[in-house]
């Protein structure tokens, strides 16, 4: 019978948060492992009894004893030490004695961890990240403690700053909700409302609760109470009012790993993201707030551009943090400069976040160094389609000059003709790079003579970059001399 119930995978451990406050935990041994165990169990407020002769102590365990963080018994383990213990941890070099203690605990049904002997452990210690009430524990089921440690570090690095404080604030909100609606039969309503708030606001936004103090915080709770009573979730912009901000952000050429850390943060935090059409889905998936994408524009690009900017302005007037997301670098052939002036005229100075431009990343994707000592020492970046569809003015041929042409696909025939008129030899190497840095990337090589026909033969489509000049095949040619 096929069901939607969680399939049982088996072979795991039961992952619990064990409350050991004031429980008696015996640690046998006084070295490094014992020292680590002391930190773990004292973090959980357990009462620790450490059995170890003085000569077996290291500086840290001695410090714990002197600081009265553990009760110390200065001798080797004796069986009666197990009396009244809630848990036992062995951390000693004598493996035989360690295993004997493990078996003894088993016979007395005292949960035990025998360091380095997984079959004798009733439980394992997990790699932990601690921040206030937040505890993240990673288990590899005893198979890879170092890996658990690395995974834990990676997870912790993705969390918003001061997440522990945010959790405390949300804990406070839960307590308030119980005050507003104490009836036990309404626990479902209480829980449901808090869950919907968390989902609507998102982790990044919720971390703004940390900044609220005194009167501001009291006022917020008043607003939240009103919404709770109506069983509605207050909109994010009401709970976390922000000053309006417009950021012009470069999305890079397409690979989400090629956007800057700052661009990623802006995307995660934005209330509204207004994006160009070329931006790949993987980058758009980072957006947490509202996302609006430019319409198809054949022949109406000015109207579409005006519409995009008006969307941004609407957001700004609602005090939102708005991101204008642009492919590659915002100030290279994307009307970025005009947009800055447009926003300035309306009283907003954009924050600029650069992006990796296709002008450089597409040649690199095709392993074309745009400069190479002794081969090319200049790069001209130009467009195949100027303002209102005009032809660009391409430079004269220079044997050490590279040309990178954006928006050139539909103009291959005219551009080829113009290059010939500018004395480019028919044998000049050329390359088309379509969808650079995206999964669908294609690289098509040729020479000036075939520059237009390869577009048709290979069905090359925008977005693509055209690269012209001797560096195109510098890394594949046999007779290149390193000068």
Residues carrying an active site annotation: 116
Q: How far is the CB of 255 from ligand SAM (least distance, A)?
A: 9
- Tell me how far apart the alpha carbons of residues 360 and 319 are, in angstroms, rounded to a whole number: 36
Q: Total residues at the site for ligand SAM (CB under 6 A)?
A: 24
Own/partner long-range contacts of 367-374 (Cβ < 8 Å, ≥24 apart):
367/475, 367/476, 368/431, 368/467, 368/471, 368/472, 368/474, 368/475, 369/471, 369/474, 369/475, 370/402, 370/404, 370/467, 370/471, 371/402, 371/471, 372/471, 372/474, 373/482, 373/483, 374/481, 374/482, 374/483
Report which secondary-structure segment, H or E, holds 87: strand 87-90
- x-or-dash pattern for ligand SAM, window 53-92, by CB under 6 A? ----------------------------------------
Q: Is 436 a binder of ligand SAM (CB under 6 A)?
A: yes
Q: How far is the CB of 215 from ligand SAM (least distance, A)?
A: 46
Q: Is 465 a binder of ligand SAM (CB under 6 A)?
A: yes
Dihedral angle of Cα 153, 157, 159, 161, to the nearest 10 degrees: 120
Q: Is 275 a binder of ligand SAM (CB under 6 A)?
A: no
- Nearer of residues 234 and 254 to ligand SAM, judged by Cβ: 254
- Tell me how far apart the alpha carbons of residues 430 and 454 are, in angstroms, rounded to a whole number: 10
Q: How far is the CB of 455 from ligand SAM (least distance, A)?
A: 13
Of the residues 328, 392, 429, 446, which one makes contact with ligand SAM according to CB under 6 A: 328
Structural contact between residues 343 and 350, judged by C-beta atoms closer than 8 angstroms: yes
Structure tokens at 210: 């940390």
- Tell me how far apart the alpha carbons of residues 40 and 36 are, in angstroms, rounded to a whole number: 6
Of the residues 34, 209, 316, 407, which one makes contact with ligand SAM according to CB under 6 A: 407
Give the pairing type, strands 47-51 and 112-114.
Answer: unpaired
- Nearer of residues 126 and 407 to ligand SAM, judged by Cβ: 407
DSSP 8-state code for residue 463 = S
- Tell me how far apart the alpha carbons of residues 391 and 385 are, in angstroms, rounded to a whole number: 6
Q: Looking only at residues 358 through 397 of this chain, which bind ligand SAM when binding is defined by CB under 6 A?
A: 358-359, 362
- Nearer of residues 112 and 460 to ligand SAM, judged by Cβ: 460
**DSSP symbols for 272-293:** EEEE-TT--HHHHTT--SEEEE
Of the residues 289, 334, 363, 446, which one makes contact with ligand SAM according to CB under 6 A: 334
Whether the upstream peptide bond of residue 293 has omega within 30° of 0, thus cis, is no
- Nearer of residues 27 and 408 to ligand SAM, judged by Cβ: 408
Structure tokens at 323: 């991101």
- Tell me how far apart the alpha carbons of residues 290 and 315 are, in angstroms, rounded to a whole number: 10
- x-or-dash pattern for ligand SAM, window 98-127, by CB under 6 A? ------------------------------
Of the residues 72, 77, 201, 333, which one makes contact with ligand SAM according to CB under 6 A: 333
CA atoms within 13 A on the CB side of 144: 8
- Tell me how far apart the alpha carbons of residues 465 and 298 are, in angstroms, rounded to a whole number: 20
Q: How far is the CB of 253 from ligand SAM (least distance, A)?
A: 4
- Tell me how far apart the alpha carbons of residues 305 and 332 are, in angstroms, rounded to a whole number: 16
- Nearer of residues 334 and 469 to ligand SAM, judged by Cβ: 334
- Nearer of residues 234 and 334 to ligand SAM, judged by Cβ: 334
Q: How far is the CB of 320 from ligand SAM (least distance, A)?
A: 24
Of the residues 33, 65, 464, 474, which one makes contact with ligand SAM according to CB under 6 A: 464
Of the residues 92, 248, 322, 327, which one makes contact with ligand SAM according to CB under 6 A: 327
State the residue number with the nearest CB to ligand SAM: 328
- Nearer of residues 152 and 385 to ligand SAM, judged by Cβ: 385
- Nearer of residues 270 and 464 to ligand SAM, judged by Cβ: 464
DSSP 8-state code for residue 80 = G
Closest C-alpha to 313, from 326, 324, 327: 324
Q: 325: exposed, middle or buried (C-beta count within 10 Å: 0-12, 13-18, 19+)? A: buried
- Tell me how far apart the alpha carbons of residues 419 and 393 are, in angstroms, rounded to a whole number: 10
Of the residues 139, 236, 320, 435, which one makes contact with ligand SAM according to CB under 6 A: 435
Q: How far is the CB of 472 from ligand SAM (least distance, A)?
A: 15
Stretch that binds ligand SAM, among 135-143, 179-187, 295-303, 353-361 (CB under 6 A): 353-361
- Nearer of residues 89 and 404 to ligand SAM, judged by Cβ: 404
Of the residues 30, 350, 446, 463, which one makes contact with ligand SAM according to CB under 6 A: 463
Output the furthest CA–CA distance in the chain (Å, rounded). Answer: 99
Q: Is 329 a binder of ligand SAM (CB under 6 A)?
A: yes
- Tell me how far apart the alpha carbons of residues 282 and 305 are, in angstroms, rounded to a whole number: 23
Of the residues 98, 288, 428, 437, which one makes contact with ligand SAM according to CB under 6 A: 437
Of the residues 29, 254, 350, 429, which one makes contact with ligand SAM according to CB under 6 A: 254
Q: Is 315 a binder of ligand SAM (CB under 6 A)?
A: no
Q: Which residues form the interface with ligand SAM (CB under 6 A)? A: 253-254, 278, 327-329, 332-334, 357-359, 362, 406-407, 433, 435-438, 462-465
């Amino acid at each position: 019978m096929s069901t939607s119930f969680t399939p049982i995978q088996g072979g795991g451990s039961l992952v619990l948060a064990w409350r050991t406050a004031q429980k008696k935990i015996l640690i046998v041994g006084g070295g490094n492992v014992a020292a680590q165990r002391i930190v773990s169990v004292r973090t959980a407020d357990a009462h620790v009894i450490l059995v170890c002769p003085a000569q077996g102590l290291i500086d840290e365990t001695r410090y714990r004893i002197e600081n009265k963080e553990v009760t110390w018994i200065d001798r080797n383990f004796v069986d009666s030490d197990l009396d009244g213990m809630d848990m036992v941890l062995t951390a000693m070099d004598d493996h035989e004695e360690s295993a004997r203690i493990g078996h003894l605990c088993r016979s007395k049904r005292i949960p035990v961890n025998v360091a380095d002997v997984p079959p004798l452990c009733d439980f394992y210690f997990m790699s932990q990240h601690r921040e206030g009430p937040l505890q993240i524990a990673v288990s590899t089921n005893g198979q890879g403690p170092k890996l658990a440690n690395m995974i834990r570090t990676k997870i912790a690095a993705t969390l918003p700053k001061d997440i522990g404080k945010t959790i405390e604030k949300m804990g406070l909100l839960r307590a308030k909700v119980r005050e507003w609606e104490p009836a036990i039969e309404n626990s479902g309503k209480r829980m449901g409302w808090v869950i919907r708030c968390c989902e609507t606001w998102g982790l990044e936004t919720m971390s703004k609760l940390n900044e609220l103090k005194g009167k501001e915080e009291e006022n917020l709770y008043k607003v939240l109470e009103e919404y709770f009573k109506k069983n509605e979730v207050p909109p994010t912009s009401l709970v976390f009012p922000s000053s309006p901000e417009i950021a012009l952000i470069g999305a890079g050429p397409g690979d989400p790993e090629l956007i800057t850390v700052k661009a990623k943060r802006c995307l995660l935090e934005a209330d509204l993201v207004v994006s160009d059409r070329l931006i790949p889905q993987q980058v758009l998936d980072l957006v947490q707030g509202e996302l609006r994408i430019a319409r198809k524009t054949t022949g109406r690009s000015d109207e579409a551009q005006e519409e995009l900017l008006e969307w941004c302005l609407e957001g700004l007037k609602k005090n939102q943090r708005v991101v204008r997301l642009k492919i590659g670098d915002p100030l290279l052939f994307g009307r970025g400069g005009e947009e800055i002036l447009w926003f300035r005229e309306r009283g907003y100075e954009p924050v600029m976040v650069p992006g990796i431009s296709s002008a450089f990343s597409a040649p690199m994707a095709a392993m074309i160094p745009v400069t190479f000592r002794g081969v090319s020492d200049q790069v001209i970046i130009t467009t195949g389609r100027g303002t209102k569809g005009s032809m660009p003015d391409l430079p004269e041929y220079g044997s050490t000059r590279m040309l990178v042409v954006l928006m050139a696909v539909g103009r291959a025939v005219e551009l080829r003709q113009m290059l010939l008129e500018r004395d480019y030899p028919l044998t000049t190497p050329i390359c088309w790079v379509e969808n650079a840095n995206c999964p669908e990337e294609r690289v098509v090589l040729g020479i000036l003579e075939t520059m237009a026909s390869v577009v048709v033969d290979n069905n090359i489509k925008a977005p693509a970059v055209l690269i012209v000049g001797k560096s195109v095949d510098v890394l594949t040619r046999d007779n290149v001399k390193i000068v």
